[in-house]
Amino acid sequence: MNMNVLGYATKSAADDLNPFHFERRTPRANDVVIEIIYCGVCHSDLHQARNDWGNSIYPMVPGHEIIGRVSSIGADVTGFKPGDHVGVGCMVDSCQHCKPCQQGLEQYCEEHHTLTYNDIDRHDRMPTFGGYSEKIVVSDKFVLKIPDGLDLAGSAPLLCAGITTWSPLRHWKVGKGSRVAVIGLGGLGHMALKLANAMGAEVSLFTRSPGKEQDARRLGAHRIIVSTDEGQMAAVKGQFDLIIDTVPYVHDLNPYIPTLSLNGTLVLVGYLGGLEPLLNTTPLILGRKSVAGSVIGGIAETQEMLDFCGEHGITSDIEVIKIQDINEAYERMLKSDVKYRFVIDMASLKG
């Protein structure tokens, strides 16, 4: 028998989010039923709710930075038990048999991973609804253990902002002595600073706002470079092994390429779409430099990131809100009026 669940949904790109009753599937033998405690608010929730990417399915219950408590498990589940604190990120399923899935890279599933919301379940064809809700039912393969001692509310954005920046840091083998720069100080950027610093890198922030220096240093940056200052940009020519670009809109990459070292890589994690102006390939070719992309991370990689955060006491800087304030939070996000991530206390759903 399907579960009746209360959440918050939008019914069109022009609508606010409002209370919404819907059904979750009857739990399968490999499912974990999770009572949601907190849910982070990602910029992509806003994009999807307003159909900015042209693929939105309505009604939509957003939310893919989910922290909860296991309330029950299926007969075949062995890795979790009722009462465990767990997380669910951007994916709830994948094909499990293609090459990326076999490598633990479910985010690159050749048959497309199943998104936590705004998608269709590959088994029963029911729509997927996200974490702005009371509870969720998820395959045990896509449930993550939250380390003891981590602040639960602050852990929610690790499931998206954390893993989105951790995955390229790990892939490009960042460690002690690495020189890493981050473009943009928002939800993604502040996590990139914290993680790169804890991994032992020498960390710099590119920003257009000189006023962010104090906060950037608190978060782990050793150096702040004002990207509109030609002198400061010239002073870091050839410096960086890896640049994490978190900017979520069209922007010019050309000023940053000369700051890469020989064999250096600029990896885009915040923006999907075409680039303007065109990328000048001369510095790429003459310095064997690369521009790459990366999306979230696999489940094993996400668990590794959570365990690392548990060891180092790393969580996101957050502002906790009630679900009734979600529409105002979306408007504030558009103005970058949050340091650095909203997290919904889902207890507010019941009153």
User: What does the pLDDT look like over 187-206, one tens digit per residue?
Assistant: 999 999 999 999 999 999 99
Residues 6+ apart with CB under 8 A from 187: 42, 43, 157, 161, 316, 338, 340, 341
What is this structure's pTM?
Answer: 0.96
Residue 10, pLDDT score: 98
Give the rounded distance of the alpha carbon of 325 from its chain centre.
21
302 DSSP β-pair partners: none
pLDDT band at 209; cut points 50, 70, 90: confident
Distance CA 19, CA 324 (A): 9
Q: Which helix (H) or strand (E) holds 253?
A: none
Tens digits of residue pLDDT in 137-173? 999 999 999 999 999 999 999 999 999 999 999 999 9
Handedness of CA 120, 77, 100, 311 (dihedral sign): positive
Residues 6+ apart with CB under 8 A from 318: 40, 153, 154, 156, 157, 340, 341, 342, 343
For the chain, what percent of residues have pLDDT higher than 90?
A: 96
Q: What is the DSSP letter of 103?
A: T
Report the candidate in 72, 114, 76 with the shortest Cα–Cα distance to residue 92: 114
Q: What is the DSSP letter of 348?
A: G
Length of the chain (residues):
351
Name the CATH topology of 3-159+317-350: Quinone Oxidoreductase; Chain A, domain 1 (3.90.180)
Tens digits of residue pLDDT in 308-341? 999 999 999 999 999 999 999 999 999 999 999 9
Does residue 351 register a pLDDT over 80? no
Q: How confident is the model over 21-26, as a mean pLDDT?
A: 97
Structure-derived torsion over alpha carbons of residues 245, 249, 250, 256, reported in degrees to the nearest 10: -20
pLDDT band at 75; cut points 50, 70, 90: very high
**Mean pLDDT, the chain, integer:** 97
44 φ, ψ (degrees, to nearest 5): -70, -25
Residue 85, pLDDT score: 98
Residue 211, pLDDT score: 87
pLDDT band at 252; cut points 50, 70, 90: very high
Q: How confident is the model over 77-104, as a mean pLDDT?
A: 98
Where do the domains of the chain lie?
Answer: 3-159+317-350, 162-293
Name the CATH topology of 162-293: Rossmann fold (3.40.50)
Q: How confident is the model over 13-17, as a mean pLDDT?
A: 97
Residue 304, pLDDT score: 98
